[in-house]
């Protein structure tokens, strides 16, 4: 169960063993990653696939950023589809559309990059290397639009490999190995974890944490969610994270609050597992705690302040003057600690947030990404919480306001359809009241 | 370590949990697998993907053969590409070839079947169900050529998912769970395993057995190889499998004989891992037994007798009369137990087998599938063994002759290239002598 | 999870490592087990305990029976208490009884054999070797009463080490490693297991099997119980074991029948875990199957025929003549297959068995060992079953009659006290009726 | 592999299951631990052992210190041997010394406390509770000498249960579960671990940490050792623990330095596994790193300053005046940071430490406990290191001096014998030189 030196030993043994598979005398010295990739796609690759793939993976790890970029450009140029072949296949298809000509067309439309990546994946650590390639790729994509097609290919493969059916849900707790726990500290994206003591509190008996893992990345959580078991819907995150909070008997709670969901792998950007995670965790919790009646998030509203700062004139039901006044006050340092000031903006802000979440859209979908995610999953916007997060980050993003999205299992499908077909924001009557007037 | 009732319990818990994800009141009764698949591809599928996928998987398991066929036809017809869309995309590409028009063309060329399979895979047991669908599909393909495109799509997905990087090599021995061991008995394709006692002998201290597993099919070996640790190249399989053979101290052996390689999953037909398996096992054995100097197969020649039966006139260096004589004698029952008869055909048969393996080709490649496999991996045809397998099956397939293919790690790449470029059958000088004269 | 070659490798590594602990140049060649044991008890043993202990263990394994006996005699003579020291300590205690003199007396009363065994146990496999020593010892004890004190010492240690708190309950099923399953076949003591197919049937979905293991003997079950989940109390074992029986849905059963309990380790004779096993298994089953209402054995009556054969004159309520008649008929081959004969002895036999179980005692306790065991655990003798086991063994032991002992959790303590204080055989009214008349 | 919620779930299931074993209606409310223990020793205990044992364990956990003391006194008084029975057995033995009378005497000399503890151990967590009882007992023993006999009994049992043969050596590294790692931070007794970052450094690639575990206390290390892989014998601990030290390639080191050994369980005081641990770790390291040539400790000298402070007049070869001068200087704050002062005492101190380690004895054995331990294991006192530990603790204990004890596997037995027979302190010639003159 616990880690002994055997598993490490095994790695070095596997290394020793694999050396046998290395290409011995035939192995040219100082080959570039580009040269290795070419070999991997030829007969050398068929004979010595795993050994070559290992060299590519090792080589990638040693590249400087400029070399990484050069490598990706190389993939874009030298491993793309063959335009001449496509033209031929298109012509053949047009002449006689058939399963055969279609099949041929499909074949030439798949770039050799995909096969290359499949072969790189033969190596131990191959999947991790490819995820890392995409992480780098995503970070330079905006400045290098010629890499979009490389991104499409890699993303296509990763989507296939990280199919939900291959993911394993694991509970994370204080018995989890430290090398995984430290990644939670590193990856937490919503409410920063302040060291090991804070982490430990988040794994207490009345807390739960779950993550998805993929068999090929056993030490890397893909996404994780932190849950607090409480009585009644939480309206504020501070008490949940407080150092000296009173622990509850989890068998006596009635509500599971999902207060933080963090994606861990930038290389898997755009490949979504979040909705599966929430639903699966709801299922697990229901079995462990039959006493739970409610499942809800306590979520940030990351886009609110940015949006509000960009408005002009009247906003929602707020007059231009009133809106300006609110905007101005929110620029004062520590306004929320001044009871009077805070009281003066409470009502207009609650209205504004409700309006923002319900009415403000971009291409028919809610402007706020968190809202988009939960509504898209079939949740209901349940409540907004005044000064629910008074951390620097909370004030900056949303003037301290947080939202509850409520997961009612029997309504998920209905809500999702309403959202998908009519782009309807399913919200509680309380939210609708806030939207209507101020 | 050992199986306790917890894991079973966990299954029933997971069931209970997943029921929560089932689609409650919205769930129509008695839905067909076709209806479920349609739902899975719509907004219902987005909201309740896993629950729907489970229903598809359960439904598939309950189908009769006729219903399975009808379902596959349905996939062929209703989930194919859209010809109209393709025509439009082809036209657009011809008008202006660009990354965008290419991308669009690629998109419409991917049939909805692939997305459907990805979604079915969400379910627990989804991968196993898809492998099972393909097993059935492969068995009816010859009579239903309209299913070829369905096969292409499923095979494409399975190739991606069963990438060698995701496979785990496991040693199989007498401490392996019985539910896996019984699959060896079931799947052994070369030298039938005669019950548990025979199996146990094949897992003795001077034997090794390795298999590839995929994380999504933890109880199902994909392919396995049986190895005997011996002194010198084995020429006959009977002594290796004999009930009362003397066991050797494996640290005092010098040769690993791969005497049986069996693919287990018909649903993965055409997705090859055999070459990886052999090389990986060589690596593992070298670490465990530094005393091993030689790695060789003792292989059947499954196509020889069929080929020989189909020849007419002179064959190889054999005159027509001589060949007819040999052919006739081989039809006699138990010819090989009659020393005189056996002696009379030994030389001509050895010549014929060598000729068959070295010279007889189909589309430039060796006629014999086992030979094709090992030569393609970079092995060398080393030796042929008179009466190496006198079982019914051995006599029927190859008049009892067996072949050794020798894996010399330093030559693998070179051999493979010679084979791939020049279709050269790399063989020992002994083999070449046999070919030259009789 | 599954066994890979790493664990075996680890053993050879551990061997290599331990060689370092071996006593190098100081190591005398060809030392006898007696010499090794002497060394182990001296300063050599303090410095090189584990290495010496290993040599003792290895040495024991290689001994012939005569050498084993000689070794045990050596333990009896050379590692016994020191009579002179005892006399002194007794005198000192009598002179002045105090904690100190008591402590001294205790110390000299513990034989050096115990310390020797503790040191032998340092070795890997030490516990197994000691259990094996006792197995041999038990087999020769009757003929060598001078070894009783050796047996007392070893048994004392084993009782301490095999404390129930250190045992692990494991479920045995078809996913259990084959090396453990084959031990079930070997050790089954009540209803012989007829090969792997029979074993597999006994591990079906409506069957359960549990065993106790000790961490120092991970591959050796200590005791195991086989359970059938059925509807209503089973009266006969044949249908339970039948090749073509209809399987039940275990969630629809109401009764767990413990039809076989087998001790596996003769070396642990007299160290009882059976009562813990039954109660623990009842607890596990109740959680897995809330539908279970009844827990009962279907037990052999191993002493009945032997007892009956030894009776003379009137037996129970049976006249001497009648008893003789019954006795005579039971000597006929296959009497139970002759309906008429069987019918003629049914009533008298049922009376006799009930009488035997309820009234026949030795030193106040039931004559029958199985009865003694279950009544001692707090079970109730519930029912006897005419022709419940018509196997050769069943007919020979008890004329085919079986007994149900019923475990009612709420009565266990009460029943046990009644049995312990008043030697009362707690039995159902049906049994009492059978006893009263014939 | 990783912890999922199943294991926790299992606990609650086991609880549920065990409730069935609880004594139902017969269970008296609010029973004291003393009452429970009495029940456990009667027929109630035989019938419902595990349930009663659980209640004792739960009860113990809830006791205040005064109650714990009262409970131990109760054990001392009510569960002691029966003096009358002893007198009778002594008389019987004197009258006729025989195996039988001896056996009887042994039996009455074993206090019922031992049987009680064996029964408490039936409970889950029983072993941990008994270790905890002894921890408390050890802490009050000095003030309550009437508890010595209780201590003897518990210690006797724990010695038997924690036999080295039952312990498992585990490597501790950064993949070890956090709940175990935090115990290292808690238990480190030599060089305090300053939080998780410090711990992580101590588990780096060129560090090793090993611990013994017992199967009944899976989350509790019993003893652990920290090892640094270095080049040449380390003379100072600060560089080993430094935040910004340069890591070495462990395959290029030649020496393993055992720089910290910590016992974790006060309840196991006096039950030694340290010597096994060191030797076993040497064996493991030799296999993992064939490059290691030397195995040595870098050890504190905890008793030096206390001893030196207690000397008067001339000490070793030091005149009374010189000794007084040294003693006085060492009382100055920060003397070791003043180069001149430090230089002035270096020589006399090195002499004094060598003298202390080699010549100062108590009852024939070295005064210093760490020296006693390593010499007793067969190590050689190799070197003393000036200002090897300048932490507060190092200065306070031994004026900053550290010692290397060298483990030469081929000399261990010889050294141990010399030490055991002649109380000889095996030391290097350098040490002997230091002792001879100043």
Per-residue pLDDT reduced to its tens digit, B154-211: 999 999 999 999 999 999 999 999 999 999 999 988 888 989 999 999 999 999 999 9
Which of A5, A175, A195 lies closest to D179 in CB terms? A175
Residue of chain C with shortest Cα separation from B6: C171
Do A37 and A135 share a domain, yes or no? yes
Domain that holds residue B59: 19-161
How many residues in chain C? Answer: 438
pLDDT tens for C169-211 read 999 999 999 999 999 999 988 888 989 999 999 999 999 999 9
Whether the pLDDT of residue A11 is over 80: the answer is no
Whether the pLDDT of residue D3 is over 80: the answer is no
Whether the pLDDT of residue C158 is over 50: the answer is yes
pLDDT tens for D355-411 read 999 999 988 899 999 999 999 889 999 999 999 999 999 999 999 999 999 999 888
How many residues in chain A? Answer: 438
- With a CB-CB cutoff of 8 Å, which residues 312-351 of chain A face chain B? none
- The catalytic residue positions of D are 299, 374
Residue C338: inside a domain: yes
CATH of the domain at B329: 3.40.630.150
Whether the pLDDT of residue D245 is over 60: the answer is yes
Instruction: Give the burial string for A65-90 (b: 16+ CB within 10 Å, else e).
Output: eeebbebbebbbeebbbeeeebeebb
Which of C1, C102, C284 lies closest to D17 in CB terms? C284
pLDDT tens for A198-208 read 999 999 999 99
- pLDDT category of residue A169 using cuts at 50, 70 and 90: very high
Whether the pLDDT of residue B77 is over 80: the answer is yes
Whether the pLDDT of residue C386 is over 70: the answer is yes
Average pLDDT over residues A419-423: 85
The overall average pLDDT reported for chain C is 89
pLDDT tens for B359-404 read 999 888 999 999 999 998 899 999 999 999 999 999 999 999 999 9
Whether the pLDDT of residue D137 is over 60: the answer is yes
Between CA D231 and CA D252 the distance in angstroms is: 8
Whether B43 and A420 lie within 8 Å, measured CB to CB: yes
Residue A114: inside a domain: yes
Q: Is B299 a catalytic residue?
A: yes
Do D146 and D225 share a domain, yes or no? no
Whether the pLDDT of residue A437 is over 50: the answer is yes
Using only C-alpha atoms, what is the Rg of chain A? 26
- With a CB-CB cutoff of 8 Å, which residues 168-207 of chain B face chain C? 169-181, 195-196, 200
Residue C84: inside a domain: yes
Between CA A402 and CA A376 the distance in angstroms is: 18
CATH of the domain at B255: 3.40.630.180
For residue B387, report the phi and psi dihedrals to the nearest 5 degrees.
Answer: 50, 40
pLDDT tens for D67-105 read 999 999 999 999 999 989 999 999 899 888 888 888 899
pLDDT tens for A252-290 read 999 999 999 999 999 999 898 888 898 889 988 988 898
Touching D (3+ Cβ pairs <8 A), the chains are A, B, C
Average pLDDT over residues A389-409: 94
Touching B (3+ Cβ pairs <8 A), the chains are A, C, D
Between CA A431 and CA D141 the distance in angstroms is: 67
Do D52 and D68 share a domain, yes or no? yes
Chain B residues with CB under 8 Å of D6 CB are 6-7, 10, 13
Which of C26, C148, C283 lies closest to D17 in CB terms? C283
Do D37 and D157 share a domain, yes or no? yes
Whether the pLDDT of residue C15 is over 80: the answer is no
Is residue A191 within 8 Å of residue A238, measured between CB atoms? no
Residue A8: inside a domain: no
Do D358 and D274 share a domain, yes or no? no
- pLDDT category of residue A7 using cuts at 50, 70 and 90: very low
Do C318 and C393 share a domain, yes or no? yes
Which of B24, B94, B279 lies closest to A21 in CB terms? B279
DSSP readout, B227-268?
A: EEEESS----SHHHH-TTPPPP-GGG--EEEEEEEEE--GGG
Give the β-pairing of C255-263 and C294-297.
parallel
Of B161, B186, B211, the last residue of a domain is: B161
Please report how many Cα atoms fall inside a 13 Å half-sphere around the Cα of residue C106, on the Cβ side. 17
Whether the pLDDT of residue A375 is over 70: the answer is yes
Burial status of residue A108 (CB atoms within 10 A of its CB: 0-12, 13-18, 19 or more) = middle
Do D92 and D202 share a domain, yes or no? no
Do B36 and B99 share a domain, yes or no? yes
Whether the pLDDT of residue D47 is over 90: the answer is no
Tokens 């041999």 -> residue: C136
CATH of the domain at C71: 1.20.140.90
Q: What is the pLDDT of residue D18?
A: 53
pLDDT tens for B228-281 read 999 999 999 999 999 999 999 999 999 999 999 999 999 999 898 888 898 889
pLDDT tens for D177-203 read 999 999 999 998 888 898 999 999 999
Residue B13: inside a domain: no
Residue of chain A with shortest Cα separation from C7: A6
Instruction: Quote the percentage of chain A above a pLDDT of 90.
Output: 72
The DSSP call for residue D130 is H
Average pLDDT over residues A95-109: 89
Instruction: Give B195 to chain C, closest Cα distance, Å.
Output: 9
Number of domains in chain B: 3
Q: What is the pLDDT of residue A21?
A: 58
Instruction: Give the burial string for C139-168 (b: 16+ CB within 10 Å, else e).
Output: eebeeeeebebbbbbbbbbbebbbbbbbbe
Of B297, B327, B342, the last residue of a domain is: B297
Interface size B-C, in CB pairs within 8 Å, comes to 81
> How many helices, marked H, and strands, marked E, lie in chain C?
20, 9
Q: What is the pLDDT of residue B17?
A: 54
Average pLDDT over residues C371-397: 94
Q: What is the pLDDT of residue A15?
A: 56
Do C182 and C73 share a domain, yes or no? no
Longest alpha-carbon distance in chain B: 80
Whether the pLDDT of residue B25 is over 80: the answer is no
Whether A175 and D288 lie within 8 Å, measured CB to CB: no
Provide the phi-psi class of A18: left if phi over 0, else alpha when psi is between -120 and 50, else beta. alpha
Q: What is the pLDDT of residue D23?
A: 52
- With a CB-CB cutoff of 8 Å, which residues 271-310 of chain C face chain D? 276, 279-280, 282-284, 286-287
The DSSP call for residue B203 is T
- With a CB-CB cutoff of 8 Å, which residues 1-30 of chain D face chain B? 6-7, 9-10, 13
- pLDDT category of residue D114 using cuts at 50, 70 and 90: very high
Chain D residues with CB under 8 Å of A174 CB are 177-179
Of C271, C297, C323, the last residue of a domain is: C297
Q: Which has the minimum average pLDDT: A188-197, C292-301, D136-145? A: A188-197
Residue D275: inside a domain: yes
Residue C2: inside a domain: no
Do A53 and A142 share a domain, yes or no? yes
Q: Between D9 and A244, name the one with better pLDDT.
A: A244
Sign of CA dihedral B291, B294, B295, B297: negative
Do D129 and D144 share a domain, yes or no? yes
Whether the pLDDT of residue B216 is over 80: the answer is yes
DSSP readout, C222-250?
A: SEEEEEEEESS----SHHHH-TTPPPP-G
Do A324 and A408 share a domain, yes or no? yes
Whether D109 and C102 lie within 8 Å, measured CB to CB: yes
Residue D176: inside a domain: yes
Average pLDDT over residues C142-157: 94
For residue B300, report the phi and psi dihedrals to the nearest 5 degrees.
Answer: -75, 165
Sheet with A207-213: strands ordered across: A168-171, A207-213, A223-230, A255-263, A294-297, A402-406, A380-385
ipTM of this predicted structure:
0.88
Closest CA relative to residue B235, chosen from B360, B404, B119: B404
Q: What is the pLDDT of residue A10?
A: 46
- pLDDT category of residue B20 using cuts at 50, 70 and 90: low
């Amino acid at each position: 169960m616990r880690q002994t030196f055997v598993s490490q030993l095994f790695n070095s043994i596997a290394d020793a063993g694999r050396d046998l598979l290395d290409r011995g005398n035939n192995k040219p010295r100082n080959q570039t990653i580009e040269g290795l990739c070419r070999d991997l796609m030829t007969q050398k690759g068929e004979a010595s696939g795993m050994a070559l793939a290992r060299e590519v993976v090792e080589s990638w790890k040693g590249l400087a950023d400029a070399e990484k970029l050069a490598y990706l450009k190389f993939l874009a140029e030298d491993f793309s589809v063959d335009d001449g072949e496509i033209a031929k296949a298109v012509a053949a298809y047009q002449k006689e559309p058939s399963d055969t000509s279609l099949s041929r067309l499909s074949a030439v439309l798949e770039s050799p990059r995909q096969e290359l990546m499949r072969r790189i994946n033969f190596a131990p650590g191959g999947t991790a290397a490819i995820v890392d390639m995409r992480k780098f790729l995503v970070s330079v994509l905006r400045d290098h639009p010629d890499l979009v097609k490389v991104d499409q290919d890699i993303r296509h493969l990763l989507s296939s490999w990280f199919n939900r059916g291959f993911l394993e849900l694991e509970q994370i707790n204080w018995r989890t190995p430290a090398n995984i726990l430290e990644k939670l500290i590193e990856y937490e994206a919503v409410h920063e974890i302040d060291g090991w003591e804070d982490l430990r509190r988040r794994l207490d008996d009345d807390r739960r944490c779950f993550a998805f893992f993929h068999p090929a990345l056993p030490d890397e959580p893909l996404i994780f969610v932190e849950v607090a078991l409480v009585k009644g819907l939480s309206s504020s995150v501070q008490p949940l994270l407080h150092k000296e909070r009173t622990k509850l008997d989890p068998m006596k709670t009635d509500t599971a609050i999902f207060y933080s969901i963090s994606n861990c792998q930038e290389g898997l950007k755009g490949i979504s597992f979040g909705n599966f995670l929430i639903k699966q965790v709801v299922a697990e919790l229901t079995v462990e705690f039959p006493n739970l009646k409610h499942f809800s998030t306590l979520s940030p509203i990351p886009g609110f302040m940015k949006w509000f700062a960009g408005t002009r004139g009247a906003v929602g039901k707020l007059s231009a003057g009133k809106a300006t006044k609110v905007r101005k006050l929110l620029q004062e340092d520590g306004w929320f600690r001044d009871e009077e000031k805070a009281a003066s903006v409470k009502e207009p802000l609650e209205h504004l947030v409700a309006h923002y979440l319900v009415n403000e859209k971009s291409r028919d979908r809610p402007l706020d990404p968190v809202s988009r995610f939960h509504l898209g999953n079939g949740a209901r916007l349940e409540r907004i919480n005044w000064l629910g997060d008074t951390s620097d980050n909370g004030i900056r993003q949303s003037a301290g306001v947080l939202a509850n999205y409520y997961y009612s299992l029997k309504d998920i499908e209905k809500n999702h359809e309403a959202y998908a077909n009519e782009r309807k924001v399913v919200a509680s009557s309380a939210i609708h009241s806030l939207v209507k007037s101020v």
